[in-house]
Structure 1
Amino acid sequence: MPRICITDLNGHSTSSRPIGVFAWMMQLEDKKLRLIHLLLISAAIYLIYTDIMEANTSSKLQKIHLIFRYGNLISKILWIVTLRSKRWQYTELVDLFENQTRCILGNERVYRHSTKVRRIFVPLCIMFVVQTIFISVFYRPIMILYGTNDYFHFGKSLTFGLLRAVFICIYPLYTQLIIECCLHIHACWLTVDKQICLLKNIDRRALTIDKIREVRSMYSIAAVITEKMDSFLRFPIAIFFGFYIMANFIFFVQFWTELSLNKLIRFVWRCTVLALVISNMIYIHYLSHKSFDGVYALSYGKHPLQVNNEIHLFLDRIGQSNVGFSFLKISLITPTFVTSLASATLTFVLSLPSLIEESI
């Protein structure tokens, strides 16, 4: 018998579906997707080539930064290419909760939560893209035109600047995909939490085994989807923590040694995005763990023996789960994980004075 969930259908039924360029790419046909992959790979190769030609590698810090930068670029290229073979897996994963529970992920709570996160991230993306386009696309051609009036070199510089900007803009779009996938998992767990709240509001005489089993099944489906999404994002999350965080602190050293408004804006953007992504990953574990409190509250009531047994089975199911996104399936991304990461970061920060002295 199909499940029917009570949801708020106020035009917000699509608020849980991931949006963005990468989510759009997943829906393309093979030929169009192959063309976009070719463009991205060409832009990445040109970006690496221009960086190598223009970079000043006189200091160890600059060399380390370039190693991280190129490693980040190459890893992103490899993952973007693999999206072609994984796009069907992604499409099925996004629709899995609604297909199996017959519950639309469009209630008012999901809409408010998704909108709040997107209102923070979208302006950050726009700020980064505008700055990137100005610096990588228009600044150098304008200087050429202003200094020499050479329209040929102006057009050449503008064309290659556009190609360079294409891949630089991948950074916020790549991060957006991780955040959007987090929001989709949030929507699943917020819906489970809402169904648990509905169970708590049911009169104890009307609470039946079937109703508890239905929500317990929904919990299990949300846990499976979280695990599958974690597997799908295993490589992007590893890249994010492996390159993005370390590159942030290397960039901080560069900013500290050579203060400028451009670097200040980029540093604030990086730190804000870092905090936003990590907090959304942690929130997945929080929502899954929060279900225990709601189900445990049901056990306070005076229920028939069979209903009590079903409640305890539900509690055992939650207690056996350790749900959330992970770092290479090694450690869940929880507040404890972030604390350990902060400790490792502090160790790195303590070495900054020596790095600064070498870079001067």
Structure 2
Amino acid sequence: MDEIKSNYCHSQIEPSSLLGCSLLRKNVFSQVVFWVASIALISKAVYRLYLVITTSIEVSEPTDFIHRYENILDQLYPLCLGLIIMHFELNCSLYIKHLDCYHLIVSNHFGKASLEFVKKWVKTIRFWVIVAFIYEAVTTSTNNYLRYFNKFGFTVNMFAIVSIELIGQLSYILAIQFMIECCIYCQSTFIPSNTLLDTLSNRNKLSSPLDINRMAKSTRVYYIKTIKSIRYMDRFLAYAILVFYLYFIGHCIFVFSSTLNIGSSPYMLCYSVFRFFGESSYLVPVTYHLIRVNQLSVQIFDKVYQLSFSFNSDQSIEAINEINLFLLRINRNDVGFTFADLCLVSPSFVSSLVSISFNFCY
């Protein structure tokens, strides 16, 4: 653990997300902030869950049951988010190990391309954070107006309640930003392997058998390091990915169901549609970047498979054996993030998830 820390501290690679930076600053203040935020979220969720569960509802109005279950789901997420933050703090060694592997992979002449890839996506994520915060500000203000202030009028308490809720919503956004950033770092680790495979494919008939063997072995070593770094990150994010999908899929189902049963009010219909697309905007980028990691490994497999047919008898036996060994080592479905450690987050996983979600809606 100490060795990993010392290796990372000398690197110039630093996360841009607030959670990532806080995990690397192993001082008393950052640890206190993590534990206070975690305990505050858990305490708030437990208290509100108690209020929701103990509140009686009218049996004659079935829509109240839907709202009640939606309220319970809404309070379960801050509870799980507090546990996720606690999990991140207790297992930050996995995050540091991943960054150490990442530094080893991109510390040579491949580092520039990898860092440019990360910087490009970091700018996009920051823009997404701003848009997501604006969305949360609009929905939080509207919900509080419809629930309380439409009846009791605008008071000083309105701004206090909205501000506190926005701080909670911001913590959700920052947690999702951190998940996306972790996926982007994992994606960038494939750049050295892709570059070496392209070079190997273009020069396999021009280079000497010794150079071919050396490049093939280097590519395989880089890919093994990539797999190692992604598995560290998969273990680190396993609980967060599970909670994210369970909550947001359930939440989108409730929002979609309320859109279908909204009645004749055009304003509420527009607001429900706005909420549905807003909540879906969390699912789309996270799912895309999780799947992208698996898709990049599939691309590596396809390139190695095509490369295995491009060698002829003039190449050395060692080079051919190295490529065949590489081909045996990799698989289309062995690299990527997992859901509950049961299945790989891949396009087939997403299609199954969408089908199940629509069945619940209807």
Quick check: TM above 0.5? yes
Check whether the contact 1:234–1:327 (CA below 8 A) recurs between aligned residues: yes
**Residues 1-360 of structure 1: matches in 2 within 5 Å?**
14=13, 18-28=15-25, 29-39=27-37, 41-42=39-40, 45-46=43-44, 49=47, 58=58, 59-99=64-104, 102-103=107-108, 106-108=111-113, 111-112=116-117, 115-116=120-121, 118-119=123-124, 121-133=125-137, 136=140, 154=156, 156-202=157-203, 203-205=206-208, 207-258=211-262, 259-299=268-308, 300-302=310-312, 303-319=315-331, 322-350=334-362
More moved, 183-192 vs 194-203: 194-203
Which amino acid is 1:253 matched to? S
> What is the distance in 1 between the residues matched to 2:86 and 2:111?
32
Check whether the contact 2:45–2:79 (CA below 8 A) recurs between aligned residues: no
Instruction: Give TM-score, length-normalised by structure 1.
Output: 0.79
Check whether the contact 1:41–1:77 (CA below 8 A) recurs between aligned residues: yes
> What is the distance in 1 between the residues matched to 2:105 and 2:340?
28
Deviation at 1:118, TM superposition (A): 4.8
Deviation at 1:223, TM superposition (A): 0.8
CA separation of 1:160 and 1:171: change in aligned 2, threshold 3 A: same
Check whether the contact 2:186–2:293 (CA below 8 A) recurs between aligned residues: yes
> What is the distance in 1 between the residues matched to 2:195 and 2:111?
12
RMSD between aligned residues: 3.2
More moved, 223-232 vs 17-26: 17-26
1:3 equivalent in structure 2: none
Which amino acid is 1:301 matched to? F
Deviation at 1:273, TM superposition (A): 2.3
Percent of matched pairs sharing the same residue: 19
Check whether the contact 2:49–2:75 (CA below 8 A) recurs between aligned residues: no
Check whether the contact 1:98–1:105 (CA below 8 A) recurs between aligned residues: no
After superposition, the C-alpha distances for 1:135-183 in whole angstroms (9 at most, x for unaligned) are: 6579979x98xx889xxx62x5534433322112122212111111110
After superposition, the C-alpha distances for 1:200-220 in whole angstroms (9 at most, x for unaligned) are: 233242533232111101111
After superposition, the C-alpha distances for 1:306-346 in whole angstroms (9 at most, x for unaligned) are: 21111111111114871111111111111121222222123
- Give the number of the structure with larger relative contact order, counting CA–CA contacts within 8 Å between residues 6 or more apart: 1
After superposition, the C-alpha distances for 1:225-252 in whole angstroms (9 at most, x for unaligned) are: 1111111111001101212112111122
- The aligned length equals 328
- Secondary structure of the residue aligned to 1:129 is helix
CA separation of 1:336 and 1:222: change in aligned 2, threshold 3 A: same
Check whether the contact 1:109–1:190 (CA below 8 A) recurs between aligned residues: yes
Check whether the contact 1:182–1:280 (CA below 8 A) recurs between aligned residues: yes
Check whether the contact 1:47–1:164 (CA below 8 A) recurs between aligned residues: no
Which amino acid is 1:196 matched to? L
Instruction: Give TM-score, length-normalised by structure 2.
Output: 0.78
More moved, 21-30 vs 34-43: 34-43
CA separation of 1:251 and 1:114: change in aligned 2, threshold 3 A: farther
Check whether the contact 1:255–1:263 (CA below 8 A) recurs between aligned residues: yes
- Contiguous gaps of at least 5 residues in structure 1: 1-12, 351-360
Which amino acid is 1:264 matched to? V
- Secondary structure of the residue aligned to 1:252 is helix
